Structure 1
Amino acid sequence: MANSLLLQAGLLICSICAVRSEVFTALADLEDLLETEALLINTLENYIKAEEEKLGYLKRYAAIYKNQHDKASENVQVYVANPINAYTLVKRLTADWREVENLINSDLSLDCLANITHIKETMKFPTDEDLNGAAVALTRLQDTYRLDTSSLARGELNGVKYSSELSAADCFELGRQSYNNEDYYHTQLWMREADARLKREANETVDRSDILEYLAFSTYKQGNIPLALDLTNKLLEILPSHPRALGNKIYYEDELQKSVNTKKKGDDGGEPEGESKPYVDPYGREFYEQLCRGEISLPVEKASKLKCFYLSRNQPFLKIAPFKVEEAHHRPDIFIFRDVLADSEIATIKRMAQPRFKRATVQNTDTGELEIAQYRISKSAWLKEEEHKHIADVSQRVSDMTGLTMSTAEELQVVNYGIGGHYEPHFDFARRDERNAFKSLGTGNRIATVLFYMSDVEQGGATVFPSIQVSLWPQKGSAAFWYNLHPSGDGDKMTRHAACPVLTGSKWVSNKWIHERGQEFRRPCTLERPSEDLVA
């Protein structure tokens, strides 16, 4: 009976087959983890039930043995003189006892572990890389959106409570992952939070000594030796013989003594000789993150000149159903097309793309080869026009929207972002020094981009252009369009853009990258070159 329950779980698992992948890079894959978890729960519950049945049998045997033994103890001679009693006594200690031994020796955990192994091999199952990726994503969101550590631990995102609270052990693991990445700043934040939560836990989920050890060393790496020494002393109060803590204590005390005896050059408050102030990029990370938070918007004098209009391009069909277009910026011109993707088309695109998802790549500027990068966390797939009418319709619609030919355009790229999914500031076109980019296509540079938004995003996930202070917020069914190249063919430096981290929700987009070849009469080149500061 016990083994049959585990066999049922195994048969259930065999009916599903999937491939292990980097699940943290796409929320679509993370949704599949709930199915994996459901099977694990089913396997665990069947194992518990089987073990309980096994204990039930043993308890029944024990009760029978005790009942007969108590009867025999009342008068041993009379009991064994009865031939039936004599027979059952011998039977209990031979055939029956073998059953007891078989039950005791039966290791149900082996079947359970085999089922779990099968789940891990055939279902989507996270790896240590996924754990690290999820932890890094959380700290990225924490920095980009300036989220308070305690609020995050309470399950709050920008004041909205979405989930249950983190335990001290959850916070400790976040700190440990940051430590493994040599990110000592976030190690300190999450170890402090783990320590604070541990004090409020009735059933402690982590040892305070472990928290103090990580916290002390990360504090030292951040340059605060006195506090590192204080934390180490607190650790030694708990574990006086802790070998690493004893060694670190001596080291920290020596370092403090050296700092007293040695005055470093520049400690008098003056500027150290031979050092110059580092260059600060006015459109660097801080500016990009401010755009992601919605703290910066287009100046009123520029925004007041933007318009909305209907676009028909003198096409009969579009005369009846023109495109609804909003101007998002002038020079470079960025347009938002509203309601250009139907829900049925979005469903088709998602359904076709998800089984093909692979980790999104970027092009190596030296070799032209595609490779994964930590500054782009998402999964993507490519869909051809001939695969489905909806894909062909979308391609034709892009041509209608832009007035450009799709004969040399790339296939439709579909993207789903993962935990804190983002793509840091980048250009869609190949810059002057990137001579190998798109060489294999033979269609020239990417003249324009059409970016379709296939989902609404609750918080975060904006497309931002730092150099021109523009933020585009995802709206399902809309699309953004801009030219990457000046009419001269030079790359437009102002089109550098980024996909902000997704704070809450699932962000689906699709890209149609349009190339130069075939556009000669649709967007004629000019002899006039833009100023050097506008070219990349």
Structure 2
Amino acid sequence: MRRSTIIFFVGVLAGLDSFSNAQSREHPARSIYKLREYLELQGNLVLNLEYYVYHLEIKLHKIQEALLDMEKVHALFEEDKRAFVSNPVNSFSLIRHMHSDWMKWQLYLSGDPGQEQLAYMRETSAYLPTKDDIADALLGMERVRSVYGLEPQDMASGLLSDVQYDSSFSPHDCRSLAEYSIGMKDYPTAERWLQVAISLLQDRNEDPVVPLNIIDVTQTLVESYRAQRNPWSAGHILEAALKLSPFDARLLRLKEQVSTDLMYEVPLKHRPKGVPDQDHCCNGLCKGPRNRHLHCFYLTKRGSPFLLLARVRTEILSDDPFIVLYYDVLTHSDMVSLRNTSEPLLHPATTIQYLNAPQELSNSRTAHFVWLEPTITEATRRADRVLWDVTGLNLSNSEMFQVNNYGIGGSFMRHSDLLHSERNYLVRERIATAIFYLSDVPQGGATLFTELNVTVFPQAGTVLFWYNLAHSGDHDMRTRHTGCPVIVGSKWMMTRWIYDDGQAFTKPCHTKLKSPMVMA
């Protein structure tokens, strides 16, 4: 290896500590932005391993050079051993060499040339994914699979919702997903993951460092069948495995257990736990009743001088309850600024069960978020201004902007944005919600209004707006919605919840109007 390469490796290793110490350890699988830190750490670990190989090669080269010299001497005494030892020079050299040199060889061979690299790996082990991280990732993948109806075989080959990617799962990945399904008592899904793992193992050699073979996976599959009280399928799989390894003690024990099961068991169907109830219209293709009074236009009035100069393309998605999409509201530079401002401040998203309750980390919402004051940057000020322009609502008493970045299969389970379970006119309530989409999402990540069959896919620069209160001021539970799992991409969004106090003149209550808003 050339000197420049050596200096390069030394420089990389010297700078690794600063990266690992700065890395966030708060559920990185719940944010695509946070996951990028793992890519950097993975790259550094690979370089560290390459440097370890380099030191091993140096040691091997020295041993090979010494062997060449020893083999030359060996060739001499093989011709005539008596003549060789009769020469005092040869005899003394032999005794001295065997007395001193082999002890030094023992010390040299016992020394590990990769101590620095091993120390680095020990240090970075504290920054590797934890059990909580792998649990987050497994939950995200299961949500993607179950919500979009994907087959394990397709997912393992990189085929995600009819789009083929240059990516694939390893047998270890499939086995981990199978074990997660077993933990959820979703045995049919576990069976499919394990079958994919077995097919992948048949096409590759066993990893000597992280071993996994067909027998290991078969054992898990048989145990899954037994948990389903399906000894017939378990016996069939065992027969095939025993042909490959007829004397494996684990398989022989399982065969005895399965034979006993065949005598006593009757089929039992388990109801999978799976993930919590999720909506299956996230692809936007569900059939069912929809609001038919939809139209598009350019918003030019509402008392805003800005709208007279810059019309806003508007699409009404539902007139009752009122749901609207405003296009090209944010510029590319504003979206980049909002993401850059938020990135170093992100932390795992939490939810509250009721007003004034403590914030709790919940699997119902898998993302990282941060609150931003409307006046913190030029981008937030412009977003605040344009929201007033298009809605006409008083924003002075509303909540701050909340920026979210979703992770692996990131989603927000079905919920309402209302603060109170029952309407109380003496306390304030969220009259409306506005979502600014700060990025495109290639697949998934839609906002789904489950009771209205309205699915809105993220488009960078657009704003989704709706009223949570009916025109009478009562709760409108039809606006319950789901943040669908992200299949591929990094979903960035910024939410603003608008309160009803201060809206007496901008949006007075009426009991006879059907729509909560009359477009100007």
Alpha-carbon separation, structure 2, partners of 1:47 and 1:4: 14
Cα offsets for 1:495-520 (capped at 9, x unmatched)? 00111111122211110111222223
- Contact kept in structure 2, 1:422 and 1:499, CA below 8 Å: yes
- Contact kept in structure 1, 2:23 and 2:37, CA below 8 Å: no
- Contact kept in structure 1, 2:296 and 2:313, CA below 8 Å: no
Q: 1:388 to 1:297 in 2, by over 3 A?
A: farther
The 3-state SS of whatever aligns with 2:120 is helix
Deviation at 1:363, TM superposition (A): 1.2
5+ residue gaps, structure 2: 269-275, 515-520
Aligned to 1:76: 84
Aligned to 2:272: none
- Contact kept in structure 2, 1:360 and 1:378, CA below 8 Å: yes
Alpha-carbon separation, structure 1, partners of 2:257 and 2:242: 11
- Specify which of 371, 375, 386 is matched with residue 397 of structure 1: 386
5+ residue gaps, structure 1: 265-283, 436-441, 531-536
- Specify which of 190, 197, 217 is matched with residue 211 of structure 1: 217
Task: Verify: 1:65 aligned to 2:66, yes or no.
Answer: no
Alpha-carbon separation, structure 2, partners of 1:514 and 1:14: 45
- Specify which of 29, 32, 39 is matched with residue 34 of structure 1: 39
Give the TM-score of the pair, scaled to structure 2: 0.84
Deviation at 1:101, TM superposition (A): 3.8
Equivalences for 1:314-333 in 2 at 5 Å?
Answer: 314-333=303-322
- Contact kept in structure 2, 1:311 and 1:324, CA below 8 Å: no
Structure 2 residue identity aligned to 1:76: F
The 3-state SS of whatever aligns with 1:455 is coil
Equivalences for 1:104-143 in 2 at 5 Å?
Answer: 104-121=109-126, 125-143=128-146
Q: 1:304 to 1:518 in 2, by over 3 A?
A: closer
Deviation at 1:526, TM superposition (A): 4.2
Deviation at 1:240, TM superposition (A): 5.7
Alpha-carbon separation, structure 2, partners of 1:103 and 1:312: 84
The 3-state SS of whatever aligns with 1:307 is strand
- How many residues align structurally? 492
Cα offsets for 1:361-382 (capped at 9, x unmatched)? 1212497222122222211111
The 3-state SS of whatever aligns with 2:15 is helix
Task: Answer with 355-364 or 106-115: which moved more.
Answer: 106-115
Alpha-carbon separation, structure 2, partners of 1:120 and 1:32: 14
The 3-state SS of whatever aligns with 1:335 is strand
Aligned to 1:274: none
Task: Answer with 360-369 or 66-75: which moved more.
Answer: 66-75
Task: Verify: 1:293 aligned to 2:296, yes or no.
Answer: no
- Contact kept in structure 2, 1:325 and 1:338, CA below 8 Å: yes
- Specify which of 493, 496, 506 is matched with residue 509 of structure 1: 493
Aligned to 1:222: 228
Task: Answer with 214-223 or 356-365: which moved more.
Answer: 214-223
Task: Answer with 89-98 or 485-494: which moved more.
Answer: 89-98
Cα offsets for 1:371-423 (capped at 9, x unmatched)? 12222221111112343222222122222222122222212111111111111
Among all aligned residue pairs of Structure 1 and Structure 2, give the percentage whose two residues are the same amino acid: 27
Q: 1:59 to 1:479 in 2, by over 3 A?
A: same
- Contact kept in structure 1, 2:206 and 2:213, CA below 8 Å: no
Deviation at 1:117, TM superposition (A): 2.7
Structure 2 residue identity aligned to 1:296: C
- Contact kept in structure 1, 2:294 and 2:317, CA below 8 Å: no
Deviation at 1:527, TM superposition (A): 6.2
Equivalences for 1:66-465 in 2 at 5 Å?
Answer: 66-68=71-73, 70-71=75-76, 75-76=83-84, 79-81=87-89, 92=97, 100-121=105-126, 125-201=128-204, 206-232=212-238, 238=245, 239=247, 241-242=249-250, 245-246=254-255, 248-256=257-265, 259=266, 288-289=279-280, 291-296=281-286, 302-365=291-354, 368-432=357-421, 444-465=428-449
Alpha-carbon separation, structure 2, partners of 1:44 and 1:10: 11
Alpha-carbon separation, structure 1, partners of 2:336 and 2:8: 38
Task: Answer with 71-80 or 411-420: which moved more.
Answer: 71-80
Alpha-carbon separation, structure 1, partners of 2:400 and 2:253: 56
- Contact kept in structure 2, 1:366 and 1:434, CA below 8 Å: no
Structure 2 residue identity aligned to 1:227: S
Once superposed, what is the RMSD of the aligned Cα atoms? Answer: 3.3
Deviation at 1:33, TM superposition (A): 1.7
Task: Answer with 306-315 or 138-147: which moved more.
Answer: 306-315
Alpha-carbon separation, structure 2, partners of 1:529 and 1:222: 56
Aligned to 1:267: none
